[in-house]
Amino acid sequence: MNIAKAEFKCSSERISQVPKDDLKDIAFIGRSNVGKSSLINMLTGRQGLAKVSGTPGKTRLINHFRINDAWYLVDLPGYGYARTSKSVRGEFSRLITDYVLRCEKLHYLFVLVDIRLEPQKIDLRFIEMLGENGVPFGIIFTKADKLSKTQREKSIERFRATLAEQWEELPPMIVSSSERGLGREEILATIEDCLKV
């Protein structure tokens, strides 16, 4: 898929504020600092479209970017940001659970996982919630440039094995690096396919 046009549409602090048109949402979520905003910039080829930061918790709202006037790419706040007070955090914020479980615009969700880390409980719980609620999703491993090829393969295998303990069918998994542009074609092809359904 060629991205000819990518424009910021709006930021929402409640799901009642998301765009009311019938374009589908393809959203990106994961732990704070996993690289969601960087990946969105890499996919659209527009640096600075989504705000990137070394400080976790940068993205706090649901951000809609309108792509080719045909669909929305959605940057979601990170979960598991420990420095947010417990009362607003819950396990996953209300904003995240409302959007992921109730928003009818959501068509497909990519869960981003840092390829360097062993499977994190919070990611596994999030994935479990998606499975239980029938939310269609795929996994994108981020920051692949930080590992060697062998280390990457080991890490993916470890994640696959952990998921296989609980799930018979595993979600699609894509390896990416926003620094290197790795995974771009594969992610865009996956999006193109799932927009047809």
Ligand X SMILES: Nc1nc2c(ncn2[C@@H]2O[C@H](COP(=O)(O)OP(=O)(O)OP(=O)(O)O)[C@@H](O)[C@H]2O)c(=O)[nH]1
By CB under 6 A, residue 54 contacts ligand X: yes
Q: Which stretch binds ligand X (CB under 6 A): 4-12, 93-101, 117-125, 174-182?
A: 174-182
Please name which of 101, 103, 50 lies closest in space to residue 77, comparing C-alpha atoms. 50
Q: Which stretch binds Mg ion (CB under 5 A): 58-66, 122-130, 147-155, 183-191?
A: 58-66
Nearer to ligand X, 48 or 54 (CB): 54
Binds 35, which of ligand X, Mg ion, none (CB < 5 to 8 A, cut-off by type)? ligand X
By CB under 6 A, residue 177 contacts ligand X: yes
With CB under 6 A as the contact rule, the residue among 9, 23, 57, 119 that binds ligand X is 57
Beta partners for residue 110, in sequence order: 28, 138
Give dist(CA 145, CA 42) in Å, integer: 14
Nearer to ligand X, 155 or 177 (CB): 177
* DSSP states along 46-104: -TTSS---SSTT---SEEEEEETTTEEEEEPPPB--TTS-HHHHSSS-HHHHHHHHH-T
With CB under 6 A as the contact rule, the residue among 146, 154, 158, 160 that binds ligand X is 146
Residue with tokens 């007070």: 85
